[in-house]
């Protein structure tokens, strides 16, 4: 009997994204991480799970910058096939500062499932989710 090994997948944020106020929305414009061979995306907002795994670790980590002149509150959450699996508590970020938001959950995954990250801000004024390799969603 031959068992297929688990294939970890990862995507990272391409460019900055203006976070809308008060409503969670899918964060767009992700890129398949070339360090994780076999990674595919669902459009520009979702990471496709490549293989089944019991007890996989799903991690989403993003940097959010408050470009406004006053403190703002931000939230992030991870979705698995449209269902919320992790939510980061609201965090106040001082004017002009950047904060890293990391979510991590352990759960069974199936090939073809879609993982998405959503973000919301207390106000859309000056709210940016920063792009780059340190803003990512990963299944390991």
- Cα 43 to Cα 26, 29, 40, 75, 122, distances in angstroms: 11, 9, 9, 23, 27
- Residue 2 pLDDT > 60, yes or no? no
Between CA 47 and CA 31 the distance in angstroms is 9
pLDDT at 126: 74
Fold assignment, 9-139: Jelly Rolls (2.60.120)
Are the CB atoms for 108 and 53 separated by under 8 Å? Answer: yes
- Residue 4 pLDDT > 70, yes or no? no
Question: pLDDT tens digit string along 41-86?
Answer: 999 999 999 999 999 999 999 999 999 889 999 999 999 999 999 9
Torsion of CA 108, 109, 110, 113, to 10 degrees: 150
Compare 107 and 23 and report the one with higher pLDDT: 107
* Percent above pLDDT 70 for the chain: 96
Q: Residues 87-113: what's their mean pLDDT? A: 96
Instruction: Name the nearest CA neighbour of 68 among 97, 31, 27.
Output: 97
pLDDT at 127: 86
Are the CB atoms for 21 and 64 separated by under 8 Å? Answer: no
Are the CB atoms for 103 and 88 separated by under 8 Å? Answer: yes
């Amino acid at each position: 009997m031959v068992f297929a090994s688990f294939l970890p997948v990862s995507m990272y944020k391409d460019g900055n994204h203006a976070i809308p106020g008060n409503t969670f929305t899918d964060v767009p414009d992700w890129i398949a991480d070339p360090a994780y061979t076999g990674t595919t995306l669902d459009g520009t907002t979702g990471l496709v799970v490549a293989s089944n795994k019991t007890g996989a670790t799903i991690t989403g980590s993003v940097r959010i910058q408050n470009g406004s002149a006053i403190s703002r509150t931000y939230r992030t959450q991870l979705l698995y096939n449209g269902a919320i699996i992790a939510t980061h508590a609201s965090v106040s970020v001082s004017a002009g500062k950047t904060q890293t938001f990391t979510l991590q959950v352990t759960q069974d995954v199936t090939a073809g499932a879609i993982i998405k990250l959503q973000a919301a801000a207390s106000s859309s004024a000056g709210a940016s989710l920063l792009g780059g390799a340190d803003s990512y969603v990963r299944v390991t």
